Chain A
Amino acid sequence: MNAIISISRRNFMIGVASTAGGLSIGFNLPFIKPALAEGAGTTPEVPEVNAWVVIRPDDTVVVRIARSEMGQGTLTGLAQLVAEELNCDWSKVTTEYPSPAKNLARDRVWGNFSTGGSRGIRESHDYVRMGGAVAREMLIAAAAAEWKVPASECTATKGVVTHAASDRTASYGQLAAAAAQMTPPANVTLKDPKDWTIAGRPLPRLDTADKLNGSQIYGTDLKLPNMLNAAIRACPYFGGKVKSFDAAAVAGMPGVRTVVQVGDTAVAVVADTWWRAKTALDALPVTWDEGPNRQVTSASIAAMLEEGLGADDAFIGNSQGDAGTALSTGRTVTATYAFPYQNHATMEPMNATALYTPERCEVWVPTQNGEASLAAAAEAADLPVQQCEVHKIHLGGGFGRRGMQDYVTQAVQIARELPGTPVKLIWSREEDMLQGRYHPITQCRLTGALDADGNLTALRMRISGQSILAAVMPQRMQDGMDPIIFQGLTAASPEGHIGYTIPNLLVDHAMRNPPIPPGFWRGVNLNQNAIYLECFMDELAHEAGVDPLAFRRKLMANHPKHLAVLDAVAERIGWNTPAADGVHRGLAQIMGFGSYVAAAAEVSVTDGQLRIHRIVAATDPGHVVNPAQIERQVEGSFVYGLSACIYGECTVNGGRMEQENFDSYEVMRMAEMPEVETIILPSGGFWGGVGEPTIAVAAPAVLNAIFAATGKRIRTLPLKNHDLA
């Protein structure tokens, strides 16, 4: 089964005729450094060596980065891969984003822009390295032609081409213009990763300095001449829409320019400043057509899923042996788990700035998928895609939410009411919380059978709940089945397969889709699947009277990479030696996003108060492009995963979400942050992701440690709803 994750909503780009490009109406970006804003054309005086590499006369190397930087470090990692093959001077490297419209105009020379599923590097490492290698050969060819010597006698090192026999050298900056005229070589050989000197090293990020002094421009910070600001409110009832609003009531408020309905579902106020727009919006009388879902509550959704736990309609994700028969004999254990809705809660609320004229539409937006943003802009503007452009901006967090384009559509719809005037739309935090594309809700009933020796002979996992693909990418469904619901649980997949050999195994899914819009949320379905599987393995081990590590190891002989990361965390945490007084341990492992991951946690529970002292995490992503960035992603993943485990829950009442801000949607803060030790175990031979997989082992490792500490099995998240005393 193919479980590759894609956040791209649209496949329209392929095959779209591309004739335009360069239709810019001459807007400049006075507050954005070219290197961080629109690329591929910001330095027209310097011809590119190829699509990936521009080298300026001062030897600055501009590496084009197609994927979006949202904190995960992909910008730096991809630049390292290009620079590695280019043999340039790393200290001279800077980056720029090519624009989605130029990608379209150039037959998608930069490939996929979609940034999600921990795919930024693992899906593009080959062609970006190729881009660097081809550029290197063109630079060498240019020098050889100039010196009238065979290219084979020239070498390129640290941004300089040398012909040793004649003792001549030329810098890349001197050669770039001539190199651009060279014919690209038909074949290049990529370096063996063991020979890397730039890639594979823990280099500092390229984008840190501007984040320390306020000069980094995010979408919310954008300033354009004559720009207006918009605040928006969409119907908070899922499936509802606007019935009426009284624009006249706020038309005279300070700074207000106009009040517009946005599609069927939302109302926006446009004003000179965002604060004035929001103030007027808060005062605007709006009546909603509350739609068909006013009776929907968290309880009604839970009942819908509970019915699915025993229903006959189910899609099979993994089937080995005969679980049904095997579970009818021997000692069985059954448990039901539940994982709630979560909001992405990026620190930067959704936003987009649009400038519309009847001939052209431009959008400036922090997006995880520039091409999907372009498609949304063209559709909302009702213009050919060739007459639209998207300018990508660094994201103040993405986590999957910014793969969706609803805010782009809204910004263009608003800008159409004000042709020729740029309008910046910023969602309030409340809008962000109420108009999420939520981590889907599921429950899981697990039954395991143990033989007389305490061996696991059969496992049945029935997942009941919501499909992401059915809502956002129905074209990826397979005969009605959502393949990604089974993340980490499938039999054989390079994306993530189960790490246990269980003679009789059945994993299936009863799809139950409540009327709440789901989305890809960092870690996606691996998060809850790891909780279900790994907490239940702990339950089975306890029932069998076997140490949880030993219990797992017996099932992992055929899964050496899963086992290696599990053994690594067990060894580092000191599994076979006693913990400090009052401290208890838990383990978990899973595979997802192409990487093998495991975690061990140490916790204490005193008078019901949980304290997570220490996490050890191991990851085998195959190849390592930047170990320092992997450490950061792993540390951060525990904040994301433990926030969900401890606090994360969006509850539904009256057909809408109840949580509207961080005061009711609490997240983890500094005081609760455990120490995190990261072990990187690259076994080579494959490319796994690192932004997401370790999230999945955070919660089960901690939950298993909580059981060790308290004897309580927490099967319904989040923890805040439980008394641990």
Chain B
Amino acid sequence: MARLIINSTPHEIEVDPDTPLLWVIREQIGLTGTKYGCGVAACGACTVHIDGAATRSCVLPVSAVGPDQQITTIEGLSPDSSHPLQQAWLQLDVPQCGYCQAGMIMAAAGLLTQNPNPSDEDINNEITNICRCGTYNRVRAAIKLAANGGEATQRG
């Protein structure tokens, strides 16, 4: 039995302690916005927040998460897609296939929490998620748009 707080809701679940948090979230809690992409923490599609910090959940055993830690998934980032990043993503129409985008947004949200006004270099260092459709430039622009309170700036 494990106790997890996911999107502010406590859950008591029967689970093998070695199970990666990703699969607990997807298959036992039933929140499928967090994606499986590689299973080796290489692509970032599985990014969630643990106590606000962006974390790749596909290699994190559920037993490594404490009963009082706050896990946030894309479904819990905002109640109504109103997070500044979600709004910026909508404004710039960032996604293509969209499969990696929840992880991108969660990674970006983690970055903005630590660094509200990231430089290109900061973004390069922190947003290492893979997108095969190639949305990188719009992801970058949307992060900057959100950081600037919704006002578009030139990439610089």
Contact = CB atoms under 8 A, between A and B. Distances in A.
Interface stretch (A108-116, A213-221, A481-489): A213-221
B40 interface: yes
B131 A217 contact: no
A347 interface: yes
Interface string A205-230: 10111111111111011010000010
Nearest to A429: B38
Contacts of A73: 96
A196 interface: no
Q: Main SS of the interface on chain A?
A: loop
A70 B97 CA distance: 5
B63 to A, nearest CB: 14
Contacts of B37: 347-349, 429, 662
A333 B91 CA distance: 52
A346 B137 contact: no
Given A273-B23, A399-B132, A663 B36 contact: no
A150 interface: no
Nearest to A396: B99
Contacts of A208: 89-90, 93-95, 98
A671 interface: yes
A709 B135 CA distance: 28
Contacts of B74: 213-214
Contacts of B135: 632, 635-636
Nearest to A254: B16
Interface string A656-673: 000001110001111101
A208 to B, nearest CB: 5
A663 to B, nearest CB: 5
Contacts of A640: 132, 134
| Category for how many chain A residues contact B | 35 or more
B8 interface: no
Contacts of B150: none
Contacts of A132: none
A669 B19 contact: no
A636 B136 CA distance: 8
A82 interface: no
A72 B96 CA distance: 6
A663 B37 CA distance: 12
Given A347-B45, A670-B127, A671-B125, A214 B136 contact: no
A305 interface: no
B130 A669 contact: yes
Interface in A498-557: none
Given A348-B97, A426-B36, A273 B27 contact: yes
B30 interface: yes
Nearest to A345: B132
B87 to A, nearest CB: 9
A71 B43 contact: no
A211 B95 contact: yes
Given A662-B40, A663-B40, A667-B132, A274 B31 contact: no
Interface string A130-172: 0000000000000000000000000000000000000000000
A396 B39 contact: no
A643 B66 CA distance: 39
B33 A71 contact: no
A212 B35 contact: no
A220 B39 CA distance: 14
B103 to A, nearest CB: 9
B19 A275 contact: yes
B132 to A, nearest CB: 5
A208 B89 CA distance: 9
A223 B27 CA distance: 9
Interface in B57-79: 73-75, 77-78
Contact of B36 (A216, A349, A662, A675): A349
A208 B86 CA distance: 10
Contacts of A215: 33, 75
Nearest to A217: B32
B97 A396 contact: yes
Residue among B36, B86, B133, B155 facing the most chain A CB atoms (10 A cut-off): B133
A340 B147 CA distance: 41
B127 A397 contact: no
B2 interface: no
A316 interface: no
A343 to B, nearest CB: 10
B136 A673 contact: yes
Contacts of A450: none
Contacts of B100: 347
Nearest to A676: B137
Contacts of B16: 254, 276
B145 interface: no
B81 interface: yes
B46 to A, nearest CB: 11
A309 B42 CA distance: 38
Contacts of A638: 134
A296 interface: no
A38 to B, nearest CB: 19
A446 interface: no
Interface string A676-693: 100000000000000000
A396 B93 CA distance: 17
Given A254-B16, A347-B100, A397-B97, A214 B75 contact: yes
A387 interface: no
A268 interface: no
B32 to A, nearest CB: 4
A212 B86 contact: yes
Contacts of B42: 661-663
B39 A639 contact: no
A76 to B, nearest CB: 10
A393 to B, nearest CB: 12
B123 interface: yes
A473 B133 CA distance: 26
A667 B23 CA distance: 25
A395 to B, nearest CB: 6
Contacts of A210: 98
Interface string A50-90: 00000000000000000000111100000000000000000
B54 interface: no
Contacts of B4: none
A639 B134 contact: yes
A105 interface: no
Contact of A274 (B27, B96, B132, B133): B27
A662 B38 contact: yes
B128 interface: yes
B6 interface: no
Given A639-B132, A670-B139, 13 more contacts: A71-B95, A208-B93, A213-B78, A214-B75, A273-B23, A346-B99, A346-B132, A347-B35, A430-B39, A639-B134, A661-B40, A662-B43, A675-B155
11 contacts: A204-B93, A212-B95, A213-B77, A214-B74, A215-B33, A274-B23, A346-B97, A347-B99, A663-B38, A663-B40, A670-B124
**Nearest 4 CB-CB pairings of A with B:** A214-B33, A639-B134, A71-B97, A636-B134
Interface of A: 70-73, 204-205, 207-218, 220-221, 223, 229, 254, 273-276, 345-349, 394-399, 426, 428-430, 628, 632, 635-640, 643, 661-663, 667-671, 673, 675-676
